[in-house]
Chain A
Amino acid sequence: MGTSDTFKTATFSGENLTCRRGGRMVFAGLGFTIPTGGALVLRGPNGSGKTTLLRLMAGLARPTAGRLLWSGAALEDPEAHGRHLRFIGHLDAIKPAFTVRENLAFWVAFWGRDDGLIGRAMEAFGLAALADFPARLLSAGQRHRLALARLVASPAPLWLLDEPANALDDRSLGALTDTIAAHRARGGMVVLASHGADLASGGATLALDKFAPTDAAQWTDL
Chain B
Amino acid sequence: MSAFTALLARDLHLALRQSADSFTVVAFFAIATVLFPFGVGPEAEVLARIAAGVLWVAALLAALLSLDRVFTVDFEDGSLDQLLLNGQSLTLMVLAKVAAHWLTTGVPLIIMSPVMAVTLQLPAEGYGVLVLALILGTPTVSLIGALGAALVLGSRRGGVLLSLLVLPLYIPVLIFGTAAVEAAITGMPSGPMLSVLAGLALIAVTLCPLGTAAALRQAAE
Contact = CB atoms under 8 A, between A and B. Distances in A.
A86 B17 CA distance: 28
A93 B78 contact: yes
A98 B79 CA distance: 14
B195 interface: no
Contact of B6 (A91, A93, A95, A110): A110
Interface string B49-63: 000000000000000
B82 interface: yes
Contacts of A112: 2-3
A93 B2 contact: no
A159 interface: no
A109 B81 CA distance: 17
Contact of B86 (A61, A97, A106, A111): A111
A89 interface: yes
What's the interface size class on A, roughly?
20 to 34
B168 interface: no
Contact of A106 (B6, B88, B220): B6
B3 A110 contact: yes
A110 B77 contact: no
Contacts of A60: 81, 84-85, 220-221
The residue among B7, B9, B14 with the most chain A CB atoms within 10 A of its own CB is B14
A85 interface: yes
Main secondary structure of the interface of B (DSSP, over half): helix
Contacts of B7: 110
What's the interface size class on B, roughly?
20 to 34
B5 to A, nearest CB: 8
A204 interface: no
Contacts of A106: 6, 10
A222 B131 CA distance: 56
A92 B86 CA distance: 16
Contacts of A69: none
Nearest to B2: A112
B77 A91 contact: yes
Contacts of B89: 79
A94 interface: yes
B87 interface: yes
Contacts, number: 78
Given A92-B77, A111-B87, A87 B221 contact: no
B14 A87 contact: no
Interface string B1-37: 0110111011001100110000000000000000000
Interface string A66-102: 0000000000000111111111011111110110001
Given A60-B81, A109-B2, A112-B2, A95 B86 contact: no
Interface string B181-221: 00000000000000000000000000000000000000011
A58 interface: yes
Interface of B: 2-3, 5-7, 9-10, 13-14, 17-18, 76-79, 81-82, 84-90, 220-221
A-B CB proximity, top 5 nearest: A91-B78, A83-B87, A82-B85, A109-B6, A82-B87
29 contacts: A60-B81, A60-B85, A60-B220, A79-B88, A81-B87, A82-B85, A83-B87, A84-B87, A85-B85, A86-B85, A87-B82, A89-B78, A91-B77, A91-B78, A93-B78, A95-B10, A95-B77, A95-B79, A97-B14, A97-B18, A109-B5, A109-B6, A109-B9, A110-B6, A110-B82, A111-B2, A111-B86, A112-B2, A112-B3
Interface of A: 55, 58-62, 79-87, 89-95, 97-98, 102, 106-107, 109-112
